[in-house]
Amino acid sequence: MTSPFDPSAHLSRRGVLGTAAGAALAATVSQRQSGAAQPSTSQSSPAAPAAAAHPCRKSINLWAFPYPQRMNLEQCLRLAKDAGFDAVELNYDLESDLSPRHGTAEYVAIRRLAETIGIGISGVCSFLFWPYPLTSNDPEKRARGLELAGRITACAHDLGTENVLVVPGAVCIPWRTDHEPVPNDVCLARAREAVG
């Protein structure tokens, strides 16, 4: 007789999936049988828990769309709404609808567009903290990063969201050839100084 678990036995994908499907079926049947045997306790069950102070919303980042190459911002917002998302996280960069080239009037117009469509703006993020890290050894890059962080915060305010993703620093950015690594202690000190 063999033991139920034989580490030398070869497992095929089909065998593993078959075993998993069988276990799921057995659990479902067992649950239904035990549920049918028990009387309903709905009258004696405790009250439903209170609604969460901050309900969970399903949001998608604008980077999931071919924006701005093949779709404009309105098309992306509508598609996100049609796909069942409650909100969209928008991206601040140097050239799009959310950039230093625009200001309060344009951001408020985007907020109103989202409201008209019926989709929220869950937050603002940016890849700009990679080329302009707040912990860079280059003081000019740090200063530009701080400037952009301020602009992104103002943009988020105009869009009606209080959520901003800020990357406070990086010891190493392996995908950037222009980033000189920053020692951990220096990175931490600069990040604290930048974020406050």
Per-domain residue ranges of the chain: 59-195
Structure tokens at 103: 């200001």
pLDDT at 5 > cutoff 50: no
Q: What is the pLDDT of residue 45?
A: 53
| Nearby residues of 95 by Cβ (< 8 Å), 6 or more positions away | 101
CA–CA separation, 83 and 167 (whole Å): 29
Mean pLDDT, the chain, rounded, equals 84
CATH: 3.40.50.1220, 1.10.3720.10, 3.20.20.150, 3.40.190.10. Which one for 59-195?
Answer: 3.20.20.150
CA–CA separation, 193 and 187 (whole Å): 10
Q: What is the pLDDT of residue 51?
A: 67
Give the pLDDT confidence of 40-60 residue by residue, as tens digits: 555 555 566 666 677 889 999
